[in-house]
Amino acid sequence: MTIGQVSQASGVARSTIRYFEKVGVLPAALRTNGVRRYDEEAVNRLTLIRFARSAGISIRDLATIASTDRTASRNGAWKERCDPASMHSTP
């Protein structure tokens, strides 16, 4: 998928996707002839990032999670940390 296709599928602006790559929240895309190429995992991760941001998680914290996540199961660690069912609210 191109950055435009990922942007449309995830609802995240292309400039924001580039920013997320730059700060380490989103792994850098592979490039083919200078064009970023993403897989479906990028759309899933961007969806989780949007959710986390709406829950008030900072970009810095997301970058920390992403760096930790590189040693764990990529998708599983993010889903566990961002799963609304696993978040406890106080009364």
For residues 62 and 88, the model is more confident at 62
For residue 63, the model assigns a pLDDT of 86
CATH number of 3-84: 1.10.1660.10
pLDDT digits (tens, 9 = 90+) for 11-62: 999 999 999 999 989 988 999 998 999 999 999 999 999 999 999 999 998 8
- The residues facing 36 across adjacent strands are 31
Q: Which residue has the higher pLDDT, 82 or 66?
A: 66
Looking at per-residue pLDDT, the higher value among 74 and 39 belongs to 39
What's phi and psi for 37, nearest 5 deg? -125, 125
**Tell me, what's the pLDDT at 70?**
56
CB-based burial of residue 26 (10 Å sphere; 0-12 exposed, 13-18 middle, 19+ buried)? buried
Q: Using pLDDT thresholds of 50, 70 and 90, give the confidence band for residue 79.
A: low
**Integer Cα distance of 67 and 62 in angstroms:** 9
Burial of 78 (0-12, 13-18, 19+ CB in 10 A): buried
Q: How confident is the model at residue 75, as a pLDDT? A: 55
**Does residue 91 have a pLDDT over 70?**
no
User: Where in the chain are the domains?
Assistant: 3-84
| Phi, psi (degrees; rounded to nearest 5) at 42 | -65, -40
3-state SS, residue 48? helix
